[in-house]
Amino acid sequence: MSESDKIVIRRLKKKRATLQEQYNENFEAWVGYWRANPQRFITEYLGLPLYDFQKVLIWEMNNTANYIFIGSRGIAGRYNQMY
């Protein structure tokens, strides 16, 4: 058997991910999560409190191509008084 006929198997060493690569992988995962859940982005990342109906409205705005919401000036106050 000549040397050109031999099959050489080389194992690739696992490359240790740098901090920048880990950051990029995690960043992409978080961006996908926040884009799928904009109401959670507002409450968890930005730290803004939202009423339950606002969370539903934001979710619907994200998932509907044409969305119109017509509300009065005191919608949040009225919503709290219903319970």
Per residue in 51-74, pLDDT (tens digit) is: 888 899 999 999 988 988 887 777
Q: pLDDT tier at 83 (50, 70, 90 boundaries)? A: very low
Phi, psi dihedral angles at 10 (to 5 degrees): -115, 130
Per residue in 19-57, pLDDT (tens digit) is: 888 888 888 888 899 899 999 999 988 999 998 888 999
**What's the alpha-carbon Rg for the chain, to the nearest Å?**
26
Distance CA 30, CA 43 (A): 15
Res 14 pLDDT > 80: no
Whole-model pTM over 0.75: no
pLDDT score recorded for residue 82: 46
